Amino acid sequence: MPRYVSQRLGSGKIPQLQKPDSTMHIHILGICGTFMGGLAVLAQEAGHKVTGCDANVYPPMSTQLRAQGIELIEGFDPDQLKLKPDLFVVGNVVSRGNPLMEAILNQGLPYTSGPQWIGEHILQNKWVLAVAGTHGKTTTSSMLAWILEDAGYHPGFLIGGVPMNFGISARLQGKENENPFFVIEADEYDTAFFDKRSKFVHYRPRTAILNNLEYDHADIFPDLTAIETQFHHLVRTVPQIGGLIVNGREESLRRVIARGCWSHTEWFGGAAEEGWSLRENDDASFDVLLKNELIGTVHWSLSGEHNRLNAIAAIAAARHAGVPPAQAIQALASFENVKRRMETRGVAKGIKVIDDFAHHPTAIATTVAGLRQQLGNSRILAVLEPRSNTMKLGTMKDALPGSLVEADLVFGYGAKGEGKNALGWDLSAALAPLGTKAKAFDDLDVLVSAVADAAQSGDTILVMSNGGFGAVHQKLLDAINSRVG
């Protein structure tokens, strides 16, 4: 076990791990979401009996959970009360009118939210390292967890994706049972229908990264100021002996800190003399600097300035927990990224199909720009599904063309109309500023045929969606392989 050190934590005392809770039976409503599925795994590892239900119980989450011995039930039938759990844990996909939730309320049965349960039963007395921000939470959390793992800290973690270095999205702890470290992706989305605070206010981190902050989640936040208020609530939960790692490029985050800050703060990405910064090299590397002093050089395969900023945030946060920056820099050389983050899904006839989770215009722009930097003049065919709640509302539609300018061809998918996955706006009209290089489709098979017909050997097809996108990746590979010639 390494010697845990921090230069800025007063006595530097490590939190003592809490004694395990007496085991309980929890029944999770909305268990197949990434966060709630991770919660289920953590609860199971902690010795609790776990069951759960969801509207759509399907792989891969259903397979992962059943492999853990977790019983899954399709739907929200009130008959599930017969399971008689000690506690119902409610995901934020559940709303009033849900038949099982109504039965729980009518009978006065105990319930809580997922984030509150995590905070009270998993994170108590842990050294929590939380990663917040509009973009890059999953990647930065994965980098940080890997740096700590490589340094021998063996952290627990709950991440909204699957870090390929670990192959799992959540674990209670690593090899050494006495370790106190836990990395968590700190989401600003609301907690539950009965708790409209952001999830991250339940986590009470000792180390917190504020990666960036833009307007998003138009379905729950009226404007950017409302989100800044939630981030300020997070800042208020960090102890005086804790630390904040904050993106100095973001005026929104500077406003958050200006509202009040009681913890040591380190800035990254802004003026070199202010804190952590980077210097790009000609090859696949970049220098890491702290107040203009060279700390080391990261050599890796990831592309894009956004990933380099993610990396220096993770290095700074790991340093706050006692990992020397040189050791963190070395660990990043073996970082393997996250599934669905620029993940190659296959190659057909010299055409590569890449999957990425980007769904906000800023994330789309940085993803395309990073790929352009990597590919040079080779063609990029961007295939986009605007699927998030914010995108479906049309709040970001005017920013879409600008986010796709570096792609050679653009294929958008989405039907205007009513229904769960329908857009409330005209995708074709939104893409019109891109001219003839952009087309919109409301039939997935027609889109697949159009992309396959347009693709040429040497092209890269970049698929961007925060959903399954109808298994379009394999459909594209199959369509390309079936072409004559």
* SS3 state at 86: coil
Q: Which one, of 423, 370, 418, lies nearest residue 393 by Cα?
A: 423
Two structure tokens written together for 348: 């057909």
154-165 residue pLDDT tens: 999 999 888 888
123-134 residue pLDDT tens: 998 999 999 998
Predicted local distance difference test score (pLDDT) of residue 430: 86
Q: What's the mean pLDDT in 401-414?
A: 89
| Residue appearing with tokens 């708790």 | 195
Predicted local distance difference test score (pLDDT) of residue 331: 96
| Residue appearing with tokens 């599930």 | 80
Predicted local distance difference test score (pLDDT) of residue 59: 64
Lowest mean pLDDT among 30-39, 59-68, 72-81, 423-432: 59-68
Two structure tokens written together for 317: 């946060």
Beta bridge partners of 90: 29, 113
Two structure tokens written together for 420: 């769960």
17 has pLDDT over 50: no
Share of the chain above pLDDT 90, in %: 55
6 has pLDDT over 50: no
Q: How many CB atoms lie within 10 A of CB 433?
A: 13
Instruction: Place 11 in a pLDDT band, splitting at 50, 70 and 90.
Output: very low
20-49 residue pLDDT tens: 557 899 999 999 888 999 999 999 999 999
Instruction: Place 4 in a pLDDT band, splitting at 50, 70 and 90.
Output: very low
3-state helix, strand, coil split of the chain in percent (to 5) is 35, 25, 40
Lowest mean pLDDT among 42-46, 233-237, 334-338, 422-426: 422-426
175-225 residue pLDDT tens: 655 679 999 999 988 999 999 999 999 999 999 999 989 877 777 788 889
Burial of residue 86 (CB within 10 Å: 0-12, 13-18, 19+) is middle
Q: How far apart are CA 188 and CA 3, in angstroms?
A: 33
- CA 134, chain centre distance (Å): 9
DSSP symbols for 377-406: TS-EEEEE---SHHHHHTTTGGGHHHHTTT
Predicted local distance difference test score (pLDDT) of residue 104: 98
Q: Which one, of 404, 408, 422, lies nearest residue 362 by Cα?
A: 404
429 has pLDDT over 80: yes
What's the mean per-residue pLDDT of the chain?
Answer: 87
Q: Which one, of 325, 217, 340, 335, lies nearest residue 275 by Cα?
A: 325
- Cβ partners under 8 Å of residue 485, min gap 6: none
Q: How far apart are CA 142 and CA 336, in angstroms?
A: 9
Query: Do 382 and 410 meet the contact criterion of CB atoms below 8 Å apart?
Result: yes
DSSP symbols for 122-141: TSTTSEEEEEE-SS-HHHHH
Question: What domains, with CATH codes, occur in the chain?
Answer: 25-113 (3.40.50.720), 123-332 (3.40.1190.10), 343-482 (3.90.190.20)
334-358 residue pLDDT tens: 998 777 677 888 888 889 998 887 7
140 has pLDDT over 60: yes
Q: Which one, of 366, 130, 118, 116, lies nearest residue 231 by Cα?
A: 130
Q: What own/partner pairs with CB < 8 Å and gap ≥ 24 does 166-173 have?
A: 166/142, 168/41, 169/34, 169/37, 169/38, 169/41, 170/37, 170/38, 170/39, 170/41, 170/42, 171/41, 171/42, 171/45, 172/42, 172/45, 172/46, 172/122
Lowest mean pLDDT among 85-94, 138-147, 392-401: 392-401
